[in-house]
Copies of this chain bind each other. A is one copy, B any other.
Amino acid sequence: MTRLWNAPDDFPDEMLAGFTAASGRWVRQVPGGVVRSTRDPRPTVSVVVGGGSGHYPAFAGLVGPGLAHGAAVGNPFSSPSARQVESVARAADQGRGVLMCYGNYAGDVLHFGEAEAAVRADGIDCRTVRVTDDIFSAPAGRAEQRRGIAGDFTVFKIAGAAAAAGHDMDTVEALARRANARTRSMGVAFSGCRLPGATEPLFTVPEGRMAIGLGIHGEPGIAEVDMPTADGLAELFVERLLSAEEVPLPDGPRGARVVALLNGLGSVKYEELYVVYRRVAELLDAAGVTVADPHVGEYCTSFDMAGVSLTLLWLDGELERLWSAPADTPAFRTGSVDTSLLLPAQIAPDAESGSEPLPESSRASRRLAARIVTTLDASHAAIDAAAEELGRIDAVAGDGDHGVGMRRGTRAAARAATEVAARGAGALTTLHAAADAWSDKAGGTSGAIWAVILRAVGRELGDDREPTREDLVRGLNRAVEDVTSYGKAAVGDKTLVDALVPLADTFAAAVGAGTDPTAAWSQAAAAAETAAQATADLLPHRGRARTHGERSLGTPDPGAVSLAALARVVEQSFSTVG
């Protein structure tokens, strides 16, 4: 369990500040994460990695010569926001393009994807390689749907070495893809971590039992078995990873060379790992597989989760040369990086310093902005009161961070809105400032979705006119369109969409029927509430890899519950709109 923090909401920022203070030789902090504090004499392709925090040394610990150029750092177990990723990518770019490399999780795919589009829109060559090494997260036939776990490290290392070798973007991307195609991992777990500020562990495994294939955020595995001996675990690992469907070589494993990486998830310690590795080495040797470079330690953790994974990177000549190239990062060093050749990073003048001028706003829009601020304050208070319950619902099959993310998001949104409204912003600008802050600070999928909602509504309300009830109807409809297009979820998928659609539809119908806006909103909020509770009867959405969104039957979707709760908050302050 996590024990040391100040305020749980401040944990991510304080962690990053401490990491940067301890690691100035390698990294400097930028909005959204870290980039190298040094640069190579000649520009290279930049490799940007990232994901939720809680997995150290993934991801910030892997930034430095020979490895990554930047890492976007999200909240614990939540993707960094698109703005964070974009900020890190821009700071890391050296003019030869940016390769984004991260584990394949729904939230990360959304946020990195959006950031990639924004960076490309500026003419920067930006591409993506997602790591999919976890063999138990999808069958071999659907390998592209697999999650990334400790194999992140092997793919990042190859990408970083390819960039350091001076290759162009096509080559760096191709080598990273080849590394991913040749990396396989298998993990087991004995107990889950407890996130900072949470009162319950993310998951539990009964004493004397072991969960096979369980993910690094507590995502469901494939089986639970009796605790094996150390040798038994080694045999399980090697047997599965050497099975015909998992060896990515046409002629099978005999004669191949591999990097073997035995990874502790946090509280399975080095001595135990070495006892397991002893048998892993014997078994690989017996199968005719040569371990070119063994690594035993902590490469991708999950706070103090008790678990172990084995990763194999199946080498060829070029991959082995890249693997062996020197690297020097806070958490991983190999070979000799000639630091005398490195130059201090050129730091661009901070584009975020000072306040940007605000768009013109009408008096009516400023009045609405003030009401939005009050509503966001009330939203934060409501979520704060409900955060534990939301976390509890989320922990049933998710990662338990929904309440924490919503609390961070509403707080940041309220603060940002207060700041711009005080400077005279209208409704659009106030909602967009709130959206950016929410997405940045909440992270995860829900942060992104809420930003989409606020932006959609803001666009219809504008800054310079007297907003009408029809504007709000259009804003809600636009929010439904944008959220379903962005998140690829439909009604019945057990997500926030299940509550958002009845909210928008009921409000539009009541306004259309001439009901006054306050009463119309009350009907809409009630419909959203009913729909949110009804998600408890839905099976989890299985259409795609939705790590952070899988929910069990019998538990409502926390995103839908949050939306309904916030609709009730809006109801309180509704009478002034219209």
* Residues of A bordering B, CB below 8 Å: 2-6, 11, 14-19, 21-23, 53-54, 56-57, 61, 76, 190, 196, 227, 229-231, 233, 262, 266-279, 281, 294-298, 301, 303-304, 306, 308, 331, 333-334, 336-339
Contacts and interface: CB of A to CB of B under 8 A. Distances in A.
Contacts of A279: 18
Contacts of A274: 14-16, 18-19, 22, 56
Given A2-B272, A227-B3, A21 B278 contact: yes
Given A294-B21, A334-B333, A271 B56 contact: yes
A6 B278 CA distance: 11
A301 B270 contact: yes
A37 B518 CA distance: 79
A76 B268 CA distance: 15
Residue with the greatest number of chain B CB neighbours at <10 A, chosen from A269, A298, A306, A338:
A269
Contacts of A6: 229-231, 275
Residue with the greatest number of chain B CB neighbours at <10 A, chosen from A3, A6, A53, A266:
A3
A298 B266 CA distance: 11
Nearest to A53: B271
Q: Specify the main secondary structure of chain A where it touches its partner.
A: mixed
B3 A275 contact: no
B17 A278 contact: yes
Contacts of A333: 333-334
Nearest to A326: B336
A25 to B, nearest CB: 9
A9 to B, nearest CB: 12
A284 to B, nearest CB: 10
A4 to B, nearest CB: 4
Among all A-B residue pairs, the 4 with the closest Cβ atoms: A18-B278, A18-B274, A56-B270, A336-B336
A68 B518 CA distance: 76
B301 A22 contact: no
Nearest to A56: B270
Contacts of A227: 3
B5 A230 contact: yes
A3 B264 CA distance: 12
Contacts of A331: 297
Contacts of A308: 4
B338 A336 contact: yes
Contact of A301 (B19, B196, B269): B269
B270 A267 contact: no
B4 A303 contact: no
Given A56-B270, A271-B76, A276 B18 contact: yes
